[in-house]
Chains A and B, each alone.
Chain A
Amino acid sequence: MPELTARAEVTASASRRRPPRVWARFAVLGLLVVGAAVALLVYDIPMDPSRRGFWLAVNLRVVTVATIAVVALCQAVATVLFHTATSNRILTPSIMGFDALYVVMQTALVFFFGGAALAATDGLIKVAVQSLLMVGFATVLYGWLFAGRRGSLHIMLLIGIVLGVGFGSLSTVMQRLLTPSDFDLLSARLFGNMSNSNPEYLPWAALIVAVVLLAVWRSRHRLDVLALGRETATNLGVAYKREVTVLLILIAVLISISTTMVGPMTFFGFIVATLAYQLAGASTHRVVLPFAVLLAMTTLLVGYFVLKHVFYAAGMLTVIIEFAGGLFFIIHLLRKGAL
């Protein structure tokens, strides 16, 4: 079959030509990330690099850059995985009520113990308890509604939305009854803010994220199959229910870490995941996952740098990203014309 081998060679050379293009895209993003990170670390320090004070200032900023890196990893990976688990690219993990759960926990804290409690309880134990509660909530929800005998993904999503709305209403009721000053303290927590992060928590968060990412990377080929949906994945020998349940719990871990570090972000993961599908130049998780992570880091680092040094409003970063993300989400929906 000379004809067949000739064709095989054509495709082989075509696939040989493709990686450099993918790698070129990665290189551009990688350079942007490194450039933005270095700029954030050293820009506008009124001291000479030969002085000790300069490096102290850099050390302080490392926390912010590391926080941004961890949050970018969590949001990007969690959203891509959520799209894979649900075989749907419109959903975001926040549909499961994670953000609402975080809001209700913070609100309850202020409601029952007063605004001072918010600052007084800050520490490793509080963030650990928060993360555990969120992951526990997710595990119970997924284990019961999805992995159970009568479970289905759609019922689980529906219950997640209903619980999310319920948490939201509960928070609103409690917020109505707060004193204005308590409410003010609270609302500062309810918008993501890179400087909300607790440096004590950072190494733990980084460690957990690293373990999750290792597990995800090892299953990257299986994820490609899972993305084909329940029936095709089952046909190809992937234990669908078990894999998706594990995946949902990993997503819960990532989102809870990101949310406890900087607060809720609804649309950020959605933007970077959607852009990654369109720009990465390949559809496998091997390419899309790291690409989405780099995009997330670029967005956050550059955004933070611009807001901090050009507009002097670093705290606004997630507000602006959410605003842009919401617009992007609506435009994407309208252009696609369907769910």
Chain B
Amino acid sequence: MITLTDVTKSYGAQRVLGPVTLEIPAGGVTALVGPNGAGKSTMLTIIGRLTEPTAGRVTVGGRDVAKTPSRELARIVSILRQENHFVTRLTVRELVGFGRFPHSGGRLSDDDRRHVDEAIAFLGLDALQGRYLDQLSGGQRQRAYVAMVLAQDTDCILLDEPLNNLDMRHAVGMMKQLRRAADELGKTIVIVVHDINFAAAYADRIVALTDGLVAEQGSPAEIMRSDVLEGVFGTPIDVRVDGAYPLAVYFR
């Protein structure tokens, strides 16, 4: 379970987030949505202790993020940012192996290797595991990063726009895999997604932010309403229920 209590983030006089008080229950997929600059990534990185909040308190799994030793926290929560550049030249397998660092301290045991194998297989990277990251396409690289985070084997996984760079097939594949990780492995997954329809189709909960504040939160059925979405995104959105889940149509 993740809790945020009166969390704010300001740069100088400009407040970009908060105050946010929010509870994300354990298990399932939670999607953070909202227009550009709403504070989704800021909130995610604050939960993942990559950004220090100006004020407020964050706990993950009952532990205060600001006070828990970093190594201990790395076994509870993992976070992946949108953009990753490494100066070190790494193969996919080496990268995924780094995900085991909080457990192994750098020396991979048989158990660590098994986790690496599983994470690689989970994202369908078997054939690419010996390739260097700079020899991969953007989408393949994105999957390798996610595999690293999965190998970290934390209860809570935070992903900032994991669908970046992915084509339709791989975007759907990624969401299915995240869904599987939540359902089969019992992970708590929080993702920032741009496409509201992916959130509606795969998430258990949607949290919508505008101007640094939580505007709406609830199940996809509760959020996927024309008036709610138009309030959040500030553009005309038509919601159609076409089969199993609602679909937002906003293209023209």
Contact = CB atoms under 8 A, between A and B. Distances in A.
B70 A238 contact: yes
Contact of B126 (A7, A234, A235, A239): A7
Contacts, number: 84
Contacts of B113: 8
Interface in B122-168: 126, 129-130, 149, 152
Interface in A206-242: 220-222, 224-225, 227-232, 234-239
A236 B50 contact: no
B86 A235 contact: no
Nearest to A288: B88
B93 A11 contact: yes
* Dominant secondary structure at the A interface: helix
A224 B101 CA distance: 10
Given A235-B80, A237-B72, A225 B129 contact: no
B105 interface: yes
B79 interface: yes
A87 B126 CA distance: 29
Nearest to B79: A235
B90 interface: yes
B86 A227 contact: yes
A288 B86 CA distance: 16
**Residues of B in contact with A, size category:** 35 or more
A42 B71 CA distance: 52
Given A14-B130, A234-B49, A283 B85 contact: no
Nearest to B145: A232
A291 B76 CA distance: 36
A4 interface: yes
Nearest to B73: A237
Contact of A234 (B50, B87, B105, B130): B50
A14 B142 CA distance: 25
B4 interface: no
B74 A236 contact: yes
A235 B87 contact: no
Interface of A: 1, 3-4, 7-8, 11, 14, 83, 87-89, 220-222, 224-225, 227-232, 234-239, 277, 283
14 contacts: A11-B130, A87-B87, A221-B101, A224-B106, A227-B86, A228-B86, A229-B85, A231-B81, A232-B84, A235-B80, A235-B152, A236-B98, A237-B71, A237-B73
